[in-house]
Amino acid sequence: MSNDTFRIREYQVSHKTHYRYSFSASLCHNQLHLRPREAQDQKLLHATVDIGPEPEYRSQGYDSFGNPIEFYSIERTHQEMIVHSKCSVERHEPVHRWFAGYRFGDFANALREDRTQQGLCSEEFLSPSGYCSIDSEFVEFLKPIWDPDRDTLEMLDLINKHIYSSIQYQPLSTDVTTRSIDTLRSRRGVCQDLANVLISCMRTIGIPARYVSGYLLTVPPPGESKLVGADASHAWVGIYVPSFGWIDWDPTNNMRVDLDHITLAWGRDYSDVPPIRGVFVGGGDTSLQVGVDVMLAKETVLDRSKTAE
């Protein structure tokens, strides 16, 4: 794609979660993070959430990070529960900057001197959280690639690549409660785990980093059809870079976040932004089935010079 043009893509996302109980539940209260937030280079066009059985109570709002949330209660006997989120999102091609213009060794000074509202708010993403610890082992992990004289954005790209190369992506090797230090020691995990390691690396060396949940358009192998429900939720990391703001990296795919990443919510780690969280009374053993589909609905290519006029 030429530097004189940029792309706008419209995606349609379906995220269906189906709970089945071994015997009836009599009551449940749940909170949802299923409505994509407005974000840089992203616009929400439409969103609905269908819930069955129909809840007795529903309300919408925002959490402390500005993510849209919904709360609902089902207050009668039910054997199963289905939550089906459908949305349309417009993504604008981000402008990738490859040089920050200051050394990685000067990052701490740049952060101290950044007194913007965004810079001050980033400080809540410096502390350890439930799944993302601060530990000297993360400093040891970074030593082989550490170069304080390298440009800051170059160094962050290198750290992202180091995690991608060092930790094996292995489905079912962990669960949502796995801590970043355990992933670092085992050297295997899924997208959430690689994101947690990057967050811990950043926070350990004093750089604000946040967990981002969302979706990623996947492309089937040549000659094969895309399977319905074959996509999944994804996770990556936002890093606060003075003079530029938040820039997102995807260590699972060794890349900066691009057009095909759809932001759902962000927080300190997964525990702040699970798609569905709640409690139920009764129900016995629970089985869970999740199906996610991300479809490219439309792509528009625009001339940068004409849009700037």
For residue 97, being part of any structural domain is answered with no
For residue 265, being part of any structural domain is answered with no
Residues 65 and 13 in one domain: yes
Q: What is the pLDDT of residue 229?
A: 41
Q: Is the pLDDT of residue 57 over 80?
A: yes
Q: What is the pLDDT of residue 270?
A: 94
Residues 108 and 252 in one domain: yes
Residues 206 and 292 in one domain: no
Instruction: Report the candidate in 35, 29, 27, 43 with the shortest Cα–Cα distance to residue 61.
Output: 35
| pLDDT per residue as tens digits for the range 183-208 | 999 999 999 999 999 999 999 999 99
Structure tokens at 157: 């790209």
What is the total count of domains within the chain? Answer: 2
CB atoms within 10 A of CB 165: 11
Q: What is the pLDDT of residue 265?
A: 97
Label each residue of the chain as H, E or C.
CCCCEEEEEEEEEEEEEEEEEEEEEEEEEEEECCCCCCECCEEEEEEEEEEECCCCEEEEEECCCCCEEEEEEECCCEEEEEEEEEEEEEEECCCCCCCCCCEHHHHHHHHHHCCCHHHHHHHHHCCCCCCCCCCHHHHHHHHHHCCCCCEHHHHHHHHHHHHHHHCEECCCCCCCCCCHHHHHHHCEECHHHHHHHHHHHHHHCCCCEEEEEEEECCCCCCCCCCCCCEECEEEEEEEEECCCEEEEEECCCCEECCCCEEEEEEECCHHHCCCEEEEEEECCCEEEEEEEEEEEEEEEEEEHHHHHC
Q: Return d(Cα 266, Cα 67) in angstroms, integer.
A: 7
Q: What is the pLDDT of residue 226?
A: 59
| pLDDT per residue as tens digits for the range 100-118 | 899 999 998 999 999 899 9
Tell me the CA distances in angstroms from 86 to 12, 51, 121, 127, 215, one per residue in order.
Answer: 7, 12, 31, 34, 13
Residue 97: band (very low, low, confident or very high) from pLDDT cuts 50, 70, 90: confident
Domain, as residue range, for 44: 5-92+275-308
Q: Return d(Cα 37, Cα 50) in angstroms, integer.
A: 18
Residues 86 and 113 in one domain: no
Burial per residue of 27-46, b for 16 or more beta-carbon CB atoms within 10 angstroms, e otherwise:
bbbbbbbbbbbebebbebee
241: domain CATH number?
3.10.620.30
Q: Is the pLDDT of residue 79 over 60?
A: yes
| pLDDT per residue as tens digits for the range 267-284 | 999 999 999 999 888 878
For residue 267, being part of any structural domain is answered with no
Amino acid of residue 127: S
For residue 99, being part of any structural domain is answered with no
For residue 98, being part of any structural domain is answered with no
279: domain CATH number?
2.60.40.2250
Residues 129 and 232 in one domain: yes
Beta bridge partners of 289: 18
Q: Is the pLDDT of residue 53 over 50?
A: yes
Residue 91: band (very low, low, confident or very high) from pLDDT cuts 50, 70, 90: very high
Residues 82 and 184 in one domain: no
Mean pLDDT of 87-108: 91
For residue 262, being part of any structural domain is answered with no
Residues 199 and 302 in one domain: no
Higher pLDDT, 226 or 151: 151
Label each residue of 184-214 as H, E or C.
HHHCEECHHHHHHHHHHHHHHCCCCEEEEEE
For residue 166, being part of any structural domain is answered with yes
Q: What is the pLDDT of residue 276?
A: 94
For residue 72, being part of any structural domain is answered with yes
Residues 128 and 245 in one domain: yes
Residues 88 and 126 in one domain: no
Judge whether 199 and 212 are in contact, CB under 8 Å.
no
Mean pLDDT of 137-156: 96
Q: Is the pLDDT of residue 230 over 60?
A: no
Q: What is the pLDDT of residue 309?
A: 47
Q: What is the pLDDT of residue 228?
A: 45
